[in-house]
Amino acid sequence: MSAPRERRARGPAVSAPRERSVEAAGLRFRIWEKGEGAPLGFLGGLRGLPRWPEVLDRLAASRRVIAPSLPGFPGALGHDALDGVPDWVCAVLDALEASGLEGADLVGASVGATLAAEVACFARASVRRLVLIAPFGLFDEREPVADVWAQRLSELPSLLSAEPAKLEAFLARPEGEDEVEWQIALTRASEAAARLLWPLGDLGLARRLHRIRAPTLLVWGARDRVVPASYAKRFADGISGWVEQKSIPDAGHMAEIDRPEAVADAILRFLGSG
């Protein structure tokens, strides 16, 4: 496969993270880890982390980045045992504790950001500072969240991303991976996200947001066509803690894939070196 190589030629070299596997409450999680310094958790977006993305490499230059996979997303199974927000919050707390992230700074993208926000509502002490990249969870009928699960396949990349080629490279099957299982894993990730979010209405988060006291950075792609950028203000208004907002130009819903450098810079500027 040549796509990843070409991609590397354009950006900085992305090297593999250390991988380990932990078990918590009967579920097995893959944990990817890279870098030195204060731990920084990362929860992936709509497709989870099928591969180690450039944004995490950039964060790992300053921090010890730890990315546990969540149930149903690449690297973990078990989403079909989870029936609602409390089940998901428990599973994420289990994953955070098992990977040494309890009380650490936490970054989440899209569905991962939703879960990071929920965890911060239910278990304040488990999160130090919070970075939310375009979370789902609120809903405004005047400006509805787009239905990512009712799209023609050809139109989906440009809905999710302002740089569809980067998204396609992120999702492309690496050499050596089984073609069938790779497709199944990506579909399962969509299912896991849908299991929590379907049909993309209000998760009840609006009634809990005030529980978030952790200093929070809201990152939004300026061209997010899924969760409109105006939702940043709705989140900012609801959260009780210190809130900063950062809009990423020329980025869509998957801002961390579209503009890894700008997103990593914004996160590191907010969090400092630990």
Partner 1 sequence: MKLLWFHLMPYTDLPEDFTEKHPSVWVDIDSRLFDPLRAHEIYNEFMDELEFAAQSGFDGICVNEHHSNAYGLMPSPNLIAASLARRTRDAALVIMGNSLALYNPPIRVAEELAMLDCISGGRVVAGFPVGTPMDTCYAYGQNPSQLRQRYEEAHDLILKSWTEPEPFVWNGRFHKLRYVNPWPRPLQQPHPPVWIPGGGSVETWQWCARRDYVYSYLSYFGYKAGEATMRGFWREMERLGKDANPYRAGFLQFVGVAESRREALDLYREPAEYFYGRCLHVDPRFAAPPGYATEKTLRARVQSMVAQAAERAGNRHFFQQPDFESIVDRGYVIVGSPDEVAERLRAVATELNVGHLMLLMQFGNMRRPLAVHNTELFAKRVMPQLAGLFDDRWEDLWWPRPLPAERRAAVREGPR
Which residues are near partner 1 by CB under 8 A? Answer: 79-80, 83, 149-152, 179-180, 183-184, 187-188, 190-195, 198-199
For partner 1, give the closer residue by CB, 10 or 152.
Answer: 152
For partner 1, give the closer residue by CB, 13 or 150.
Answer: 150
In the complex, the smallest distance separating the C-beta of residue 12 from partner 1, rounded to whole angstroms, is 33
Query: How far apart are alpha carbons 266 and 255 in whole angstroms?
Result: 12
> Which has the closest alpha carbon to 137: 129, 145, 147?
145
In the complex, the smallest distance separating the C-beta of residue 176 from partner 1, rounded to whole angstroms, is 18
In the complex, the smallest distance separating the C-beta of residue 216 from partner 1, rounded to whole angstroms, is 29
Query: How far apart are alpha carbons 42 and 112 in whole angstroms?
Result: 8
Query: How far apart are alpha carbons 210 and 204 in whole angstroms?
Result: 12
In the complex, the smallest distance separating the C-beta of residue 151 from partner 1, rounded to whole angstroms, is 5
The end-to-end CA distance of the chain, in Å, is 38
In the complex, the smallest distance separating the C-beta of residue 191 from partner 1, rounded to whole angstroms, is 4
For partner 1, give the closer residue by CB, 101 or 148.
Answer: 148
Query: How far apart are alpha carbons 255 and 221 in whole angstroms?
Result: 5
Supply the angle between the helices 111-122 and 85-98 in degrees, to the nearest 10. Answer: 90
Query: How far apart are alpha carbons 63 and 38 in whole angstroms?
Result: 6
For partner 1, give the closer residue by CB, 132 or 193.
Answer: 193
For partner 1, give the closer residue by CB, 127 or 138.
Answer: 138
The CA radius of gyration of the chain, in Å to the nearest whole number, is 17
